[in-house]
Chains A and B, each alone.
Chain A
């Protein structure tokens, strides 16, 4: 089985005296769609960066497919874990196809050119993200949402069992937000990928993710199925915000209501 992430007693601080993450342990089974949520600054991005080794964790605190993350070579790790960060436009005008193919660089032939398999994988990634129409356009000419899909396509082209995304729907409009979550869900269901998403949107997480890892500022964390973790009490405790909970179909939805919100009196208790 591939795509298992095990985190055991992970602690991390950017300086020797500070700690941002303390003794975090959890396991992500293969093919799970996990959301990481929590207030700003609690260490979500740090955790993600540790899970892809952009930051270096202490030995044997993170294992991918039962192998400690530090034992992987850069190339081997890339074949296991792909990361999508905030959408970004490089200075030089690469086209969408060129960008997606970059993910195949470790597999290029001797003279540095892609082969048939690479092109096929790249095309599949483009189709999965519905960006085939942009293939020969410069990345810079696309809108933010389209660019984000291209970066996801690039990550898909790595053909890795694990996909990590850091707030992929920031700054995107509603249609694109939903589009991306649909895309990710499809990748999970059709390809069996393990997907970890950092998100601020509780409702989208509720609708699409199987589990959620909730980090709170008191260094506590909760992990479990979304319906078990998300509740008005939990949200109030972690985010300090009152929410009105309701149900749509089988899932709950949460509407945050601040003091001056129109329906703030709906929140009794």
Chain B
């Protein structure tokens, strides 16, 4: 049994040494530095964050974006830091940022933790609702020393949205079915920013409250929803008119829906309505054009 005692002894020593070293390392570790007032090297990890930064005039300061940050076009030239789901921590470190902006969901939260452990501090923002958007623009504005531009941007978006709501008026709301996926059928529920955009454009979601944000639904619910308009964000890069024709054919089996009867099935460009960012107004206006084409002289 001697060798067992030896083993126990060695393991205990090993652990003790480990704790000792770890204790002495606490003092030496580079703490995550406080956020600078006017950061010169910014990495942002989501396409909508990129758009916000550009809108605040920070094009030169951006040193890293994620793979699908393609608006404005200049963003596509920036060094890629991995994808939105899996940012590449090595690339981030190599870019030597003094500010990293992340979203608040699990993956990126973990990343922020990891960055903190190796001495990089980050700004984490929650961007899930329209109200968040204004807050986030202000936050990023103050973190980067661009408060003025941030305020101006927020005011501008708000004004345009107000003008639109006046135009739309208080008529009966148009019932909208927003389809994000056909097979299996998935729609946008009431707890999404898409829903908020629909309401800003004078519509209401044909689907009632659901547990999931983007619930899978069955044909029954489609028949019962009474949608006046069906909107699908574009799936492919094909011509919109072609896609719209195909969509109409696909939905024509639901003959009782007024959307089908009145041939009000629309396919619209994805970006402005799937990314919650500074182009919020463009997105809402696009939707409004679908819901009340008569208001826009089309």
Contact = CB atoms under 8 A, between A and B. Distances in A.
**A, B assembled together:** yes
A110 B1 CA distance: 9
A110 B2 CA distance: 8
B255 interface: no
Interface string A167-202: 000000000000000000000000000000000000
Interface residues of A, number: 2
3 contacts: A110-B2, A110-B3, A111-B3
Contacts, number: 3
B157 to A, nearest CB: 71
Contacts of B2: 110
Nearest to B2: A110
A110 B7 CA distance: 13
Interface in A92-129: 110-111
A223 to B, nearest CB: 43
Contacts of B3: 110-111
Nearest to B6: A110
Interface in A111-170: 111
A154 to B, nearest CB: 26
Nearest to A110: B3
A114 to B, nearest CB: 16
| 3 tightest Cβ-Cβ pairs between the two chains A and B | A110-B3, A110-B2, A111-B3
A111 to B, nearest CB: 8
Nearest to A111: B3
Interface string A45-81: 0000000000000000000000000000000000000
Contacts of A111: 3
Contacts of A110: 2-3
A42 to B, nearest CB: 44
Interface string A12-33: 0000000000000000000000
Interface in B1-34: 2-3
B147 to A, nearest CB: 71
A182 B290 CA distance: 100
B210 to A, nearest CB: 54
Interface in B69-92: none
A123 B127 CA distance: 78
A111 B3 CA distance: 8
A109 to B, nearest CB: 10
Nearest to A112: B3
A74 to B, nearest CB: 15
A111 B4 CA distance: 11
Nearest to B3: A110
A110 B6 CA distance: 12
A169 to B, nearest CB: 42
A200 to B, nearest CB: 45
B122 to A, nearest CB: 52
A110 B5 CA distance: 12
A244 to B, nearest CB: 62
B84 to A, nearest CB: 48
A110 B3 CA distance: 7
A124 to B, nearest CB: 29
A183 to B, nearest CB: 38
A202 B255 CA distance: 91
A75 to B, nearest CB: 13
A43 to B, nearest CB: 39
A13 to B, nearest CB: 38
A111 B2 CA distance: 11
B1 to A, nearest CB: 10
B127 to A, nearest CB: 57
B5 to A, nearest CB: 12
B182 to A, nearest CB: 52
A5 B207 CA distance: 85
B7 to A, nearest CB: 12
A111 B7 CA distance: 12
B3 to A, nearest CB: 6
B73 to A, nearest CB: 63
A105 B180 CA distance: 67
A227 B132 CA distance: 102
A14 B102 CA distance: 68
B4 to A, nearest CB: 11
A141 B239 CA distance: 71
A67 to B, nearest CB: 24
